[in-house]
Amino acid sequence: MGNEKNSTTSKMPDTDTDAYIQRMAVSNPLIEPTVYSAIQALQLPSGSQGLDAGCGIGLQALLLAEAVGATGHVAGLDISPEFLLHAEEIVKKSGLSEHISFQEGDVSKLPFDNGTFDWAWSSSCVGYSASLEPLPAVKELARVVKPGGSVAIFAWSSEKLLPGYPLLEARLNATSSGIAPFVKGKRPELHFLRALGWFRDAGLEEPTARTFAGGAYAPLSDDLRNALIALFEMRWPSVESELTQEDWSEYQRLCLPQSPEFILNHPDYYAFFTCSMFCGKVAK
């Protein structure tokens, strides 16, 4: 969903990592229903064993574990030990520790044998993180899934967050943080929305693409308001140098919580966003 600097956490100073972890947790109430819909659409078999690659703080591992039921298991893998510490705490509190395990590792070189899992899921990591070549990463997910099992990658794909201000929103989305993790000049084939090609090239069968929408409208609960504030911070950090003075002033007027005209205070506020999921089956 956001800032490239934040999508590869292993080299970040602790303060950036902590801030990012905080934003992931705070933005979860907004995004979770959409993730839930995507996971339901996968129809993961009850009792199955799966991988959550680039699991972050484990919020989606919880949903995946619920989807596979009491006899299933989810292995969460992430390159960041800080994220995994948080993930372990969150899962312990949820009472699902028996059904979820975590392991440090790199999705480009998964520490699992061929065909270990019934399925693999990766959200905002494989195919999305700019530090990972998408095709080798999709192949690696396919390698650790059993023949007939599924591989799914999921990520933020669009949004309308500033109702009534389409021009400002378009300009914010045209900044480098607005298009992150894509970067100007990158080959179009490497954009997340070109994932069908990676699935085809990785030899995955029956590739599918689906988009799920989420949203929020006034009056906003505190949770959704805080989630949207975190989202604004993730979508458009440090945009000043890429905006005209006029757009920067309008951004400050509408997008900063301390502004009396902060857009989330508007009684008619409505926002929506989409996340897209690509899925394929490992050849039998």
Ligand X SMILES: C[S@@+](CC[C@H](N)C(=O)[O-])C[C@H]1O[C@@H](n2cnc3c(N)ncnc32)[C@H](O)[C@@H]1O
263 counts as binding ligand X under rule CB under 6 A:
no
Residue, CB closest to ligand X: 56
- Closer to ligand X by CB, 124 or 226: give it: 124
Token pair of 37 as six digits: 């819909």
Residue with Cβ nearer ligand X (97 or 131): 131
> What residue type is assigned to position 16 of the chain?
D
- Which two tokens mark 104? 């440090």
Cβ 281 to ligand X, closest distance in Å? 22
What is the nearest approach in angstroms of ligand X to the Cβ of residue 249?
31
Longest dimension (CA), the chain: 60
Which of these ranges, 63-71, 120-128, 189-197, 226-234, lies near ligand X under the rule CB under 6 A? 120-128
Q: Does position 60 bind ligand X by CB under 6 A? A: yes
Question: What is the C-alpha to C-alpha distance for residues 137 and 125, in angstroms, rounded to an integer?
Answer: 10
What per-residue string of b and e applies to 186-202 under the rule 16 or more CB within 10 Å gives b? Answer: eeeebebeebeebbeeb
Q: Which residues contact 221 (CB under 8 A, 6 or more apart)?
A: 29
Please state the closest distance from residue 82 (CB atom) to ligand X, in A: 8
Residue with Cβ nearer ligand X (50 or 251): 50
By the rule CB under 6 A, 78 interacts with ligand X: yes
Q: How far is the CB of 31 from ligand X (least distance, A)?
A: 8
- List all residues 6 or more positions away from 102 whose beta carbon is below 8 Å from its beta carbon: 55, 58, 61, 75, 76, 77, 78, 84, 87, 88, 91
Q: Which of residues 232-261 bind ligand X (CB under 6 A)?
A: none
Per CB under 6 A, contacts with ligand X among 40-59 are: 54-56, 59
Query: Which DSSP string corresponds to 67-96?
Result: HH-TT-EEEEEES-HHHHHHHHHHHHHHT-
Scanning 43-75, the segments in alpha helix (DSSP H) are 59-68
Considering the complex, state which of residue 44 and residue 132 has its C-beta at the smaller distance from ligand X: 132
* Number of CB atoms found within 10 A of residue 180's CB: 20
Identify residues 127-186 at the interface with ligand X (CB under 6 A).
129, 131-132
Query: Which part of the chain contacts ligand X (CB under 6 A), choosing from 7-15, 206-214, 248-256, 257-265?
Result: 7-15
State the nearest-atom distance from the C-beta of 132 to ligand X, in Å: 5
**Residue number, 38 or 263, with CB nearest to ligand X:** 38
Neighbouring residues of 224: CB distance < 8 A, sequence distance ≥ 6: 29, 30, 216
Residues that bind ligand X (CB under 6 A): 7-9, 24, 54-56, 59-60, 78-80, 83, 106-108, 123-125, 129, 131-132
